[in-house]
Structure 1
């Protein structure tokens, strides 16, 4: 961070976040993070139940997770986040709500609440566990959303809730299709060139290759025909109005290119619009994948 500040004029009010596992957190480390300039910590709790943590392959226990959250609460941080997951193997509705209630006791300014998805080339992919069905997932979401709303959390993005004024700056930039520089091992980046080309970068994933100086794994231009989908895939995850000018500003494409798709989305009840903005509807939030298919 000291070297970055020598090279890049980082804003004094910049949000600087570090991700941490609950079992790697103690007061000395937290104080060290703050002295280095970090003002926000995201803690990978995932669950407050021992059996669920074991199934997820996590190495911390519920007590460590709760202690880490309470410790973060005592520090003079700008904000802190707890990561939780739902839709876990053999998870019932009460299990999912219990995890949220434990998080609410800690009272983090920001809470990420993700549904578990099975990724290719993972243990879960090769040996799929029994996951809650769609009806149970829907009930978990409904009850969890009501509970979080009752306790002052606003859902501002598909998987993110925050107290007023504590939305994650990184999330907002990312989902508004802003640029970001990926520096470290395995980091992704998105950069808009002066000629309007949008470049995505992926750094070398394996630490050995990175340490040997092979930093860049992929560097490619996003094809223009894919930009509408890329823009809306990000932008419609946020539940705020989407200014129409942002589409042209961020993609360098004309609004006319998406007129037909926008009209179909409005007819389906996924979107509403006025002269300045598009706004995803409650119906659209529930069928986000169907909405995005219009732009493929």
Structure 2
């Protein structure tokens, strides 16, 4: 199959072909761009990332990304982009010239909102001051810096290419390059980590004054080195102590938890991620990228792109690996597995607006979840209780049909 004829067979889920109301208004639209190369694959990472060769095919990949985008333009329906997120891999391996050409090509195809948020993931080991100044001049206005830890022993255990001093310098360089909005990615529950170790990392991160912190527990994922060769992780009691003490420390310094593992200063939550969690739409381009696109007639389609970079760059292969229409029976779970990650949940009206289904379709699961103390009894909002946040999987099970 060639790229000129790259339509993939539609995979229907559940009763996807049952009638569903037309959407009164289409959700906001975002764009996710996957850059799949890293300097080195980390042993805990299950993302679609591949060790980079000495010379990356930047020009060819940008051409492919724009051609990939062209095939999804039918689902824009006149909307503008509210956010763009460069994820990976390590997008900061690409030159400013390549990213500039890509952004220019995107804006020629889809208009940008006047206040668009454009985020670039970066690792401390790839920071160069001139490069990041150039990124800022392109209109990239937010960075997400993959720190994970500031402690050498922990960084080595995680297979990271930077050291603690480089991590600290990266935050300073981001600020000097003109980024007044940046996230630090930090893990806890690391191999042989104590409560003091975890809080020391968090204090170092807070001292760098990021506007946003993604602070989450290391989990062992299938198809990773850590899954096959598990390291010694802290006991459950220690993990609980770290979680409680860390959340208190973040709150003390003004970082409000707005999602399971996301904390932000006032007015600084990640808009791209908020759109994702509130069941907004996003086009996904790049090797292995996923998307979710709504259509005025009520169809909601999840898409995924060809995973291996060599296949994605092969003109004889399709960019799109597959797509799936969400069925009515899947919609409650699909909507709520995102929305209930938000500590304040979402307004109830968002469910019919974003899914084309009635609130009544949630009634049975909602009643059971409220009676179990997992969902707040609040008709105007869908929001988990504190217990529901802790046992989110149990809460979501109430909405499986």
The TM-score bracket by the shorter chain reads: over 0.9
Q: CA deviation at 1:157?
A: 0.5
Equivalence for 2:251: 149
Q: CA deviation at 1:138?
A: 1.0
Match of 1:210 among 312, 315, 323: 312
Q: CA deviation at 1:36?
A: 1.4
CA deviations 1:188-215 (Å, max 9, x no partner) are 1100122212111111121111111331
Does structure 1 retain, via aligned residues, the 8 Å contact 2:339–2:345? no
Match of 2:343 among 228, 239, 250: 239
Match of 2:121 among 4, 16, 19: 19
Does structure 1 retain, via aligned residues, the 8 Å contact 2:333–2:396? yes
Taking the aligned partners of 1:42 and 1:31, their CA distance within structure 2 comes to 15
CA deviations 1:167-205 (Å, max 9, x no partner) are 100110000011101012221110012221211111112
Equivalence for 2:56: none
Equivalence for 1:257: 361
Does structure 2 retain, via aligned residues, the 8 Å contact 1:73–1:106? no
CA-atom RMSD, angstroms? 1.3
Paired residues, number: 296
Query: Which 4+ runs in 1 deviate beyond 3 A?
Result: none
Taking the aligned partners of 2:288 and 2:161, their CA distance within structure 1 comes to 22
Match of 1:170 among 272, 283, 289: 272
For the residue of structure 1 that corresponds to 2:383, the secondary structure is: strand
Q: CA deviation at 1:110?
A: 0.4
Residue 62 (1) aligns with residue 164 (2): yes
Equivalence for 1:267: 371
Taking the aligned partners of 1:156 and 1:139, their CA distance within structure 2 comes to 20
For the residue of structure 2 that corresponds to 1:181, the secondary structure is: strand
Equivalence for 1:103: 205
Greater share of residues in helix: 1
Q: CA deviation at 1:73?
A: 2.6
Structure-2-length-normalised TM-score:
0.72
Does structure 1 retain, via aligned residues, the 8 Å contact 2:133–2:178? no
Gaps of 5+ in 2: 1-102
1:53-132 to 2 correspondences below 5 Å:
53-132=155-234
Does structure 2 retain, via aligned residues, the 8 Å contact 1:73–1:108? no
Gaps of 5+ in 1: none
Equivalence for 1:221: 325
Comparing 40-49 with 69-78, greater Cα deviation is found at 69-78
